[in-house]
Amino acid sequence: MSALAILGGQVVAGGTVAPGGVLVRDGLIAGVGTFAVPDDAETIDAGGKLIAPGIIDVGVFAIDPAAFSAGGITRAVLMPDQSQPLDAVALIQHAVTAGKPDVWVHPLAAATQGLKGTDLAEIGLMARAGACGTATGRGWIADSGVMQRLLSYAGALGLVTISHAEDAGLAGSAVATNGEAATRMGLPAAPAEAEALAVARDLLLVEVTGAPLHFRQLTTARALDLVRDAKRRGLPVTCGITPAHLLLSDVAMGDFRTFTRLSPPLRSEDDRQACLRALADGTIDILCSGHDPRGPEAKRLPFVDAEPGMAGAETLLSLGLGLVRDGTIAMPRLFDLLSAAPAKRFGLPGGAIAVGAEADLILIDPEAPWRISSEKMVAQAGNTPFDGLPVQGRINHLIKGGVRL
């Protein structure tokens, strides 16, 4: 492969943003900052724009290459909740190849057979086939014995378990969080403590097993306090969140717009503010899209009957840049949340701009204005709760393994 030199940009690397460029050769980063440009190098003038590591999106529910490319996502960690749950070696092998060459898909093995929460799946065999971890799926494993065995088994294999933090016995068929908004709309609701209950149980099992655990999304102050304390005590636990739960509260459901029907449901303003504080203080480790495109047949229904989920891949970066402009986090912290932390947690290539690292890169115009439109999204469906919101930040170039896409 010939060399590729990206020049004249602002490089997000090593916890800083500094003027310079990136040299790529043979799919790897060969130089950062200032370097001699090889005679055979193709060049890209970054024009002062950001040069950042490609985004690693943890916990997507669909393989959606067009949406991933538009959002700067070069690797996607796929949830096992597919039309056929990813509980067998052949299904994992198929998922691994499904997004190439535009995006590398890293599937998560279903924790239990058929994601039913009872009998453990053949996690070890699926790990050898390419699974980067294991996950309980959209649901919480209610049986504590099963969850303990899962953590022990996955931990012995060196795998991280992803848990859905919601006590199903308390949440039941709720579609909203207890509070004024749900009461005014007459929606079946559950207390926010359903999340903290699940987190508390799982953290106790982490203490027992010593196994690593990641909560895909945490959205309440009580749950985040539990994780904050667990980290202080040295437990191997991390957690993620989506922009929706950072930027929207349950009042966004006010017009019964089913694009705001999410799982977990939107929370109170107090919980939203607690999430922003947790993002700023490092309690939250990963910012993910929750990408779950749902067509009209799933969303053009009464709020109670609509399927939860949002198309988030295309908007993840722009909404994240908004958090930087608002002063919630700094630019290097944003790409730690989007890239470095996911790579480290799940043992994936890429995630950082450093010599010898995989050349997964994105060039970003952070000031480019655009308006989110559900009708114009390139995703498989446009069910975004941010429909109509003006944002800033567009991808100018996407480079995967040293190759311009």
Beta bridge partners of 215: 163, 239
Range of the domain at 122: 54-351+368-390
Q: Is residue 321 assigned to a domain?
A: yes
In a domain, 172, yes or no: yes
Task: Answer whether residue 1 shows pLDDT above 70.
Answer: no
Mean residue pLDDT of the chain comes to 96
**Whole-Å CA distances, 127 to 16, 92, 158, 390:** 35, 9, 10, 41
pLDDT tens digits for range 341-387: 999 999 999 999 999 999 999 999 999 999 999 999 999 999 999 99
Q: How far is CA 251 from CA 254, 256, 284, in A?
A: 5, 10, 23
Helix axes 193-209, 221-232, angle to 10 degrees: 20
Identify whether 308 is part of a domain: yes
Q: Residue 120, class by beta-carbon neighbours within 10 Å (0-12 exposed, 13-18 middle, 19+ buried)? A: middle
The model's pLDDT over 293-341, given as tens digits with 9 standing for 90+, comes to 999 999 999 999 999 999 999 999 999 999 999 999 999 999 999 999 9
Q: What is the pLDDT of residue 197?
A: 98
Averaged pLDDT for residues 152-162 = 98
Q: How confident is the model at residue 246 (pLDDT cuts 50, 70, 90)?
A: very high
**Residue 45 lies inside a defined structural domain of this protein:** no
What is the mean pLDDT of the segment spanning 255-281? 97
Residue 70 falls inside a structural domain:
yes
Is the distance from CB of 237 to CB of 203 less than 8 angstroms? yes
Q: Give me the torsion for CA of 147, 139, 79, 347, rounded to 10°.
A: -30
Q: Report the predicted TM-score, pTM, of the whole model to 2 decimal places.
A: 0.96
Contacts of 210 (CB under 8 A, 6+ apart): 155, 236
Q: Is residue 180 part of a domain?
A: yes
d(CA 219, CA 213): 17
31 occurs within a structural domain: no
In a domain, 359, yes or no: no
**Cα distances (angstroms) measured from residue 136 to each of 96, 133, 265, 373:** 19, 11, 18, 32
pLDDT at residue 112 is higher than 90 = yes
Contacts of 333 (CB under 8 A, 6+ apart): none
**In CATH, what number is assigned to the domain containing residue 313?**
3.20.20.140
pLDDT, mean of residues 135-161: 97
pLDDT of residue 405: 83
**φ, ψ (nearest 5 deg) of residue 382:** -110, 35
Whether the CA torsion 138, 253, 287, 192 is positive or negative: it is negative
Cα(405)–Cα(398) distance, rounded to whole angstroms?
A: 6
Q: What is the pLDDT of residue 173?
A: 92
Number of folded domains that form the chain = 1
